[in-house]
Each structure stands twice: as structure tokens, then as C-alpha cells.
Amino acid sequence: MIRKQHFESKRLHTYSCADAAAQRPSGSRAVMNTYAKIALNTYAAPAEVARFTAGLCHSRTNDTQCTNMTDNRWWRGAVIYQIYPRSFQDSNGDGVGDLPGIIERLDYVAALDVDAIWVSPFFKSPMADFGYDVSDYRAVDPMFGALEDFDRLVTEAHRRGLKVMIDQVLSHTSAEHPWFHESRSSRTNPKADWYVWADPREDGSPPNNWQAIFGGPAWRWEPRRRQYYLHNFLDSQPDLNFHNPQVPAAMLENLEFWLRRGIDGVRLDAINFCYHDQRLRDNPAKPESERTGRGFSPDNPYAYQYHWYNNTQPENLAFLERVRRLLDQYPGVAALGEISSEDSLGTMAEYVGEHRLHMAYSFELLTEEYRAGHIRNTVEALEQRMPHGWPCWTISNHDVARVVTRWGGEHASPRLATLLSAMVCSLRGSVCVYQGEELGLPEAGVPYEALRDPFGIAFWPNFKGRDGCRTPMPWIDHAGGGFSRGVPWLPVPAEHLPLAVSRQEHDPDSPLNGFRRFLRWRREQPALRWGAIRFLELPEPLLGFTRQLDGQTVLGVFNLGGQAQQTALPLAGPVTVVNGHGLQSGRVDGTVAVLPPHGVLFATVS
């Protein structure tokens, strides 16, 4: 049994914020104004939210949820644990993880002290892109279970104080979706205009030069219509035509199907790809010196263009506002958008706001660039461009190499895993943490013959695909890792077994227990969850900033390097070192901060 006492203490109880307010001095109009803002899910200032939450509600260690008025804004400062269902836990021995398997492991997730789970696609699909090619938006694929299993997952997660977010793949479907079967059959059927169809040029070539992310032209010929259809990803993932008003209406109905089942949030996959340029203008060529993208490599033809016309069109803004109006009918439900555009930070700033998405993230910190300066510049740029909104940060997910390897190399210190998790969880914003990051798992080496990812197969060996971060979770340190009684869909790497949960559970210095300690400590630091952020001028490899809220200032300095560092602190007031976070802690000698390798210094600033 994994830390049962810990998650038991986080369950919902009947103490309400109204009860708490009744115990405070009466006549506080400011408190009630903040209550009204939060209850209506509008954008109260972060300081107001923090004061209100801290003043009226217990911390989560004693009370999982307060009442609807603060629960509606649970996503601000939340840590969201991403579960890739295929690789989390197999319950029936078929080698593929499933929804009942996730339920079996919810005790473990709750013991991490995260706020929510994000479950990657489990919808009915031919699995050409492992669930991101949906053939039925309202059905669970049999390999993952049934709708009853999903309902039970929501109930069991809520019982443990965990919110539930799910993926929604809106811009495209599977080629096996009934809509596409009908659409491709002729030019006159009722679904004829539900996908993006275009006539060929006079020489029979595609209508323009658009390239697909997974390589090659973004158009495929359909002989029955004598037209091309658009696919921004695989050719088995045809793009929907959102310019047809029936399409966004149908997708919102699909979204509401899951809202009615009690979810707490949605992660909107590739949300800036819904609309295309109706004039089908060619994308401009990109100079070789600029062919460095986020989510694709320079040897991919996709990198050879500025993607001005195949995504991120102005019509998408009105659709996001329709999404928000629907979500606002379900208080407390939040939308997180995935953004990949020519100017991802600018698109995030445009897409997030009171009437659009609650938060968004991009691939800016999912690259191989590992410098304190890059992290600082990225966060500062977004802070400047999106002062009205709330960011979400992630340094690992199911699409990129695991961060310990990507940023630390093949022989990274185990301390690095906990340091990086603490660093991203200390930035202003919410955080998505990918399964296995709490264990410090490195990227797995998957041989070509075992690859399943079509992206990796197409670009091998320069790009080895995404399978290395998708291998099954190692629960025990024996062959197979306790993931499945059968043959797993991807091999369980031998190098992951020493990092198995069973091995780390009883080691107080393990990355797993370091992750747990830090999140418990963070929960008691309102400034780290909601405060304003200001970066300090520090030399590489040091990243330093202050978080400020209600007169409290917390300093965080992170040594991203493997050697001890010391630096003068550019602060006016004295600092007091704060411990209890569980990381390798630095010290302050006068005005000089001294940090061990991969260490951190947290302090209060007077």
C-alpha cells in the first residue's frame, strides 16, 4: 500500500468556505468581491485569489477542496500529472495500458501530491498515431476499456482529491471516422464539405506547397473525388474544415459529451490548427539558418517553410470564444491549449484570456536548449506579452525525449531530475509533469525493429521518434517492470528497472521521494503558487528569481550545472534561508549564495 495515510488526509470534507468566512470579521466587502470573481470564473488578480484562498480555505494537506468558489480556479498554480494510458498500467495482460490500470494506480498518483491528472487519448481509434487519430469521439477504444471504466476513473480520482483533464483532438479526425468515409465518397454527399478538399493544379500536383509535420506534402489524392485532402499530420489524419459552420458545432457537441461526464478540464491538442487559409496561399520559404523549430527537426521538410497559412488563422479566435462559453456553463472546468506556431509565445498571449482559453503551453521549454538564459528569456518574454493571462509550463511530455537525458546527457545525476521538477514548479504558472519524471527516468533506447512511432520510422536514424519517452512505467525492479502480465507494446528498458517505484519508495533520497517532498513543501508556499515573478541577473548556469505575494518575497536560485557555484545576490535586503523542500540546499555567506552541484537556494527576502 503506497502512502495511504497521505492521500486519505486529502479527501473532501464538509467544511465550506462560507463557514470559514462566517468565522472572519464581518463586513469584508473585498473578500466577498473576490468570492464573486472566483465563483464567476473571471480573472481576479492573482494576489486577490491567493489572499482569498489562504484566508478562507485550509491547505490541501488537510482539505482537498474548499467550496465551488475557490475550486473553480483550481488550475491556477496546479501541478497536472500527464498519464499516457498505453504505458501506465495494463490490467488485463494484453500488453497495453488501460483505464482500469490507471484506477489501480491512483493511490500512487495521489501520494505525489499533484492536483490533477491529464489522461492522453483513450478514444476509439485505429491507432495510426496512437489515439490522436480519433474515429469516434464519444467512445472508449476497447483496448482501454469502456465508458463505465472512464466514469469510474473520474469518481475514484475525485475521491482522492484529483481533478481529471482529458485530451480533445479537434483539428482532425482519423481517416476511419464515419464522417470522412462519407466525405470522401463524392462531392455531393451531406459531409462533402466537412474536410478540406481542393482541386489539383493543371499538372495534377497538389494545390499548394504546404508540408505535413510528419514529413512530405500535406495533401493526399482521393480518386473518388478527384481532389486532394489536407492532412497537417499523417495522411490518415485528415483535417476538418472548420470554415463549414457545421464542423465546429459538431465538435463542441462532442466536447460537451465529456463535460457532462464530470471532467474538470480539457487539453486541446494542436488547437491552433483548426482553421486554414481559405485562399490556400503558399507558405513562404524559410532560410536554412532559421530552420530550427519546436517539435520537428531541421531535416524535416516542414522546417523549410514559414507556416503562415496552414495554421494559426484569425478565425480561430472566435472558435476559442465559443469553446470558452461552453466551458463556462460547467463551473470549474479549465481549458489548456497546446500551441505550435511560428510565434508560439505570441499565439499563447492571443489565445489566453478571460473569454478564451484559461491557459496554454508551447514547445519553448521542450527543446534541447539547456541554459538558464533560455529559460529566463522564455518566461520573461511570455510575462511581457501575456500580462493578462496564466501560463502553463512543461519540460517533458509524450512527444519529446525525457528531460533528464535531453538536458543532462546520458550520465545525468539523479539529483538533476528533482532539481528540474522543482525549477519548473517554481515558475509563475501551472505545470504539466509527464509520468516517470518523478522517477528521474532517462530516455529509453528503442531499437529500430521495436519502433512503433510512425514519425520515428520515417526519420530514422537522424530522429529516432517518440517511443523512447513512451516506454511502460517501471513499477517493480523485475523483468517487465510490473507493467503487464503479457508482452508490453514497447519494451521495458533494463536501465529503468533500478529506478522502479518499488526501489525508490523506500529510499528517502530517491528522486521519487524528493519530488513528493518538494510538492508538499510548495503547497505551503503561496508566493510560489500565485506570486509575481522577477528574474535576477546571475551568471550561467544559475537561474534565479523572486516570487512575491502579499508582502512576502521568496527567492529561488537553481544551479543547473554539475559543479558547485557561488555568486553575489543582487538584492537590497537580507535573506533568510528556508529549508524543508528536500533538495540539496545552498547557503548564504553575507551577500554571496553558495550552491552545491544541482543544488537550490530558497530564502525569504526582508
Asked whether residue 527 is domain-assigned, the answer is no
Domain boundary among 71, 91, 116: 71
Task: Judge if the upstream peptide bond of residue 541 is cis by omega within 30 degrees of 0.
Answer: yes
Q: Which of 404, 491, 475, 468 is nearest to 440 (CA)?
A: 404
Asked whether residue 525 is domain-assigned, the answer is no
Q: Is 338 a catalytic site residue? A: yes
Give residue 342's domain range. Answer: 79-166+245-273+316-519
Cβ–Cβ < 8 Å for 34, 57:
no
Mean pLDDT in order along the chain per 10 residues (606 residues): 41 32 33 35 38 37 40 94 98 98 98 98 96 98 98 98 98 98 98 98 98 96 98 98 98 98 98 98 95 78 96 98 98 97 96 97 94 98 95 95 95 89 98 97 91 83 86 96 97 96 96 98 97 98 98 96 96 92 95 96 95
Q: Which of 66, 167, 161 is nearest to 107 (CA)?
A: 161
Asked whether residue 556 is domain-assigned, the answer is yes
Whole-number Å distance between alpha carbons of 134 and 146: 15
Domain boundary among 461, 486, 519: 519
Q: Are residues 265 and 330 in the same domain?
A: yes
pLDDT of residue 299: 86
C-alpha 278, offset from chain centre: 31
Asked whether residue 200 is domain-assigned, the answer is yes
Asked whether residue 524 is domain-assigned, the answer is no
Q: Which of 310, 323, 387, 394 is nearest to 349 (CA)?
A: 387
Question: 106: domain CATH number?
Answer: 3.20.20.80
Q: Are residues 374 and 489 in the same domain?
A: yes
Q: Which of 227, 218, 400, 204 is nearest to 304 (CA)?
A: 218
Q: Are residues 35 and 85 in the same domain?
A: no
Q: Are residues 576 and 536 in the same domain?
A: yes
Domain boundary among 257, 286, 310: 310
pLDDT of residue 15: 27
Q: Are residues 385 and 484 in the same domain?
A: yes
Q: Are residues 491 and 357 in the same domain?
A: yes
pLDDT of residue 601: 98
Cβ–Cβ < 8 Å for 247, 241:
yes
Q: Are residues 332 and 451 in the same domain?
A: yes
Asked whether residue 302 is domain-assigned, the answer is yes
Asked whether residue 430 is domain-assigned, the answer is yes
Q: Are residues 31 and 124 in the same domain?
A: no
Q: Are residues 301 and 384 in the same domain?
A: no
pLDDT of residue 28: 33
Question: 586: domain CATH number?
Answer: 2.60.40.1180
Question: 185: domain CATH number?
Answer: 3.90.400.10
Q: Is 269 a catalytic site residue? A: yes
Q: Are residues 333 and 287 in the same domain?
A: no
Q: Are residues 337 and 231 in the same domain?
A: no
* Catalytic option among 71, 264, 269, 350: 269
Within 10 Å of residue 156's Cβ, how many Cβ atoms?
17
- Rounded-to-10 torsion of CA 153, 158, 159, 160: 100
**Into how many domains does the chain fold?**
4
pLDDT of residue 450: 86
Largest CA distance in the chain: 79
Long-range contacts of 475-480 (CB under 8 A, 24+ apart): 475/89, 475/105, 475/500, 475/501, 475/502, 476/500, 476/501, 476/502, 477/502, 477/503
Task: Judge if the upstream peptide bond of residue 461 is cis by omega within 30 degrees of 0.
Answer: yes
* Catalytic option among 129, 133, 338, 399: 338
Q: Are residues 129 and 208 in the same domain?
A: no
Grid cell for residue 541 = 548556469
